[in-house]
Structure formats: structure tokens, C-alpha cells
Amino acid sequence: MKVRLRYFSFIQDFTNKSFEEIETECKTVDCLLGQLSSLYGEEFLKVIKNGLGSVRITILVNGKANVNNINDGDEIAFLPPPSGGELYVSKRFDLLEEIKKFREKAPPEAGSLVIYLGFVKGIVENHKVYELKYEAYEEYTRRRFKEIIDEVKKKYNDLVDLQIIHVIDNMKPGEDVLLIMALGKGRKDAIHAVEETLELVKHTTGIWKLEIRDDGEFWVVAGNTRVRRNEKGSST
């Protein structure tokens, strides 16, 4: 049978590819890992099973975790934790236009609009940043955005509406990447909703970035953990 494999972030440093389709007789993920170790080495298998330092790897089968059985046509994705609605793939958003459109959706009972804007840093760890290259497991991330919005809306009674926008592209310092907006009946629930949504986007979605700076290239995973590109056994 054939299965599709997706590799994200520093996992690509082992495979030298982000996607492949392979023939296999394996019926379980465990068996498939053995087959992949023969292709990509024992170090690959070790990292998948044990992680890289404190960074653990998640394996999704058709977007679901903790699944071992696999079937013909399944998609298996190997994900480090992400670095942190709507995905803008290969395009930018107009900040003022997005705020205006969201503000116009406010019903009569709304009385506050809270905004978080994330943009690319120019200096990290005293090193100059040239570019951030974002990548995403799009299907999984779109679903997680919807789940996050639903979860947060249920938690905060005075939250009226919530929106997430994230750009997936090669971004320069100063360019806007992430926009989270909340409409609330009052300020408190809207503020808390934006704070919680930001953490969920950073830690539970399928978005990663490759940081290009004056001392090398680093995969940014698990919040702010940096793994130097093509140095699979070390991290900073």
C-alpha cells in the first residue's frame, strides 16, 4: 500500500524533503518508523521516538494524534511543537483594513475591541535577523484555529467574537505576521481571550519558522527553542 509522509521543521534536515509518498507493507506507525530508519538512519529514529533535547515529536495520522494503525492512502505527519482563524499563505494582510472590517462586525452589546499584533524582530539574542521563513501544516492548523476560537468563546461569556490571522510566507524584520482580535461586551474577557488565544496559537498549531540571521539558520520550535539547521544533534 502507499502512504503519504509530511516532514516539518528540523525533521526535514534528516529527510532532505518535506513530503514523500512511499510503498509499505506496514500496518502500524511503529513498523513504519523501522522502515524509515533504514532510509534516514538510527539518529532519525532516535529523534522521532525520544525528541531532540527537550523538544518532543508528535506523529499525526490523518491529523489525529495517538493513532498507531495505518491504512492505504493515509497521511502521516511528523511535527515538532510549533513556534506559534485564517492562514494568509504567500500574501500579506492590511492591518488597518482587517481591524476596520472586524470592528464593523460589532453588535450593539459589544463595547471593546482588543488587538494583538505580532511582527518580525530585527534582533534576536544580539544577532541580526535577515528573514523568517514560515511553514505550516495547513489542514491541521486551519482546524486548530477553528477549535481554538470555539474553545475560547465557550470559556469567556462576555466575548462576542474572535479572529486569528497568521501569514505563512518569507517575512522580513518589521513585517506583520500574526493578528488576533477580540470583541467583548467589556474589556476583561476580551483581554483574557486574546492572551489565551495567543498562547494556544504559539503552542498547539502546526506553524514553524526558520530564522535566518547573521550567525546561521535556526528552526524555531516549542515556543522559543532554537535548533541550528543541519546540526541535528545540537540546539541552542
Q: What is the residue-wise DSSP string for 155-169?
A: H-TTEEEEEEEEEES
What architecture is the 86-228 domain classified under in CATH?
Answer: Alpha-Beta Complex (3.90)
Q: How confident is the model at residue 90 (pLDDT cuts 50, 70, 90)?
A: low
Give this prediction's pTM. Answer: 0.76
Greater model confidence, 102 or 90: 102
Domain boundaries, the chain: 2-79, 86-228
CATH code of the region 2-79: 3.10.20.30
Per-residue pLDDT of 29-86, as tens digits, reads: 999 999 999 999 999 999 999 888 777 888 999 988 889 999 999 999 998 876 555 6
Cell 509522509 -> residue = 5
Give the dihedral sign, CA 142/146/151/156: positive
Per-residue pLDDT of 132-146, as tens digits, reads: 999 999 888 988 999
